[in-house]
Amino acid sequence: MSTGNVTTLRRPDALPSLPSQGKIEQREKTTEGKVAFSFRNVAKSFGDKPVLRGIDLDVRESEFLAIIGKSGCGKSTLLRILAGLDTPTTGTVSKDASSRTRMMFQEPRLLPWERIASNVSVGLTGISKGEAAQEQALTILEEVGLKDRAGEWPYVLSGGQKQRVALARALVAHPQILALDEPLGALDALTRIEMQLLLERIWRKQKFTAVLVTHDVSEAVALADRIVVIDEGRIALDLDVKLPRPRRHGTAEFARLEEQVLNQLFGRGETNG
């Protein structure tokens, strides 16, 4: 498994049952649903520079979590720890040992020397091969609207299409957790909205737990069930977004939530939860 190198992984049975957990945030909904993963007092330093200073976070299954923060606040590090690309200096990350975590990067990171369908089948490494993998790859490519490009080389695709292939690769093995590290950051505004809609549609269909790191507040409000603002390595705001889906930009409630997150980010007013 890709996350095997997180030394602090615990088996699901080792997880304390939810209701008995003492230190839960002041969010009302935390006790609902099964927990997909939790961070317990996770800290990370690079050299003597602390990046994360004690993160406590429980994320429920099928929840769409957005993590927002200024650059350098540690949000990408948090995601890399979740995906098993980094290990925490102290603290523990626990998730179901059988759950599969996939990561989508800001760049598509496709293999230029493999055709689109083979690139998607990278997501099935160690899971299935040959014809079966090819078939699964085509199915998920159809989902992202690129089935007819399956036989092409990556260089002929546009930036948005490449990112859709990367999404297909991340989802082809039906992961339980999808970590997204600003995957839409490099796209133009229109492609970006298109991708947000696609991501939301597939998320609602496949029901994975999504963790989206972004610096775009309106993207977070449009997509997430819950927004966490990270500031100087700590959770500064943990906010539920209860807008009905599909969401429309520009409603009063939408604007109010955006305002609340922005205020937190720029330290204006007292908006805590």
Partner 1 sequence: MSTAKRIEIGGITGWLLPALILAGWEAAARAGLISANVLPAPSAVAEAFWRLLLSGELVANIGVSSARALAGFAIGGSIGFIFGLANGLSKFSRSFTDTTLQMIRNIPHLALIPLVILWFGIDEEAKLFLVALGVFFPIYINTLLGIQGVDPQLVEMGRTYGMSPFTLFRRVILPGALPAIFTGLRYALGIMWLTLIVAETISSSSGLGYMAMQAREFLLIDVVVLSILIYALLGKLADSFARFLESIFLQWHPAFKKV
How far is Cα 99 from Cα 177, in angstroms, rounded to an integer? 7
Stretch binding partner 1 (CB under 8 A), from 28-36, 99-107, 185-193, 212-220: 99-107
User: What is the token pair recorded at 47?
Assistant: 């050299």
Query: Residue 176 CB, nearest distance to partner 1 (Å)?
Result: 15
The strand pairing partners of 40, in sequence order, are 92
Q: Per-residue contact track with partner 1, 184 to 223, x per CB under 8 A?
A: ----------------------------------------
How far is Cα 202 from Cα 222, in angstroms, rounded to an integer? 15
Stretch binding partner 1 (CB under 8 A), from 138-146, 152-160, 189-197, 231-239: 152-160
Q: Which of 155, 190, 250, 267 binds partner 1 (CB under 8 A)?
A: 155
- 3-class state of residue 41 by DSSP: strand
130 is a contact residue toward partner 1 (CB under 8 A) = no
84 is a contact residue toward partner 1 (CB under 8 A) = yes
183 is a contact residue toward partner 1 (CB under 8 A) = no
**Buried b or exposed e, range 89-99, using 16+ CB within 10 angstroms:** eebebbbbeeb
Q: Which has the closest alpha carbon to 214: 252, 173, 157, 258? A: 258
Please report which residue ranges of the chain form alpha helices under DSSP H: 75-82, 116-121, 130-143, 159-171, 189-206, 217-223, 252-265
Query: Residue 141 CB, nearest distance to partner 1 (Å)?
Result: 17
How far is Cα 212 from Cα 215, in angstroms, rounded to an integer? 10
Q: Which of 57, 65, 83, 223 binds partner 1 (CB under 8 A)?
A: 83
Q: Which of 35, 51, 66, 103 binds partner 1 (CB under 8 A)?
A: 103
Q: Which of 18, 56, 97, 105 binds partner 1 (CB under 8 A)?
A: 105
Q: Which of 125, 139, 158, 251 binds partner 1 (CB under 8 A)?
A: 125
Contact call for residues 106 and 19 (beta carbons, < 8 A): no
153 is a contact residue toward partner 1 (CB under 8 A) = yes
- 3-class state of residue 268 by DSSP: coil
47 is a contact residue toward partner 1 (CB under 8 A) = no
102 is a contact residue toward partner 1 (CB under 8 A) = yes
151 is a contact residue toward partner 1 (CB under 8 A) = no
19 is a contact residue toward partner 1 (CB under 8 A) = no
How far is Cα 80 from Cα 215, in angstroms, rounded to an integer? 16
Query: Residue 214 CB, nearest distance to partner 1 (Å)?
Result: 19
DSSP state of 30: G
Q: Which of 154, 160, 183, 233 binds partner 1 (CB under 8 A)?
A: 154
Query: Residue 235 CB, nearest distance to partner 1 (Å)?
Result: 25
User: What is the token pair recorded at 142?
Assistant: 């159809």
How far is Cα 222 from Cα 200, in angstroms, rounded to an integer? 9
Q: Which spans of this chain sit near partner 1 (rule: CB under 8 A)?
A: 1-2, 4, 83-85, 102-103, 105, 107, 109, 111-114, 122-123, 125-126, 153-155, 169
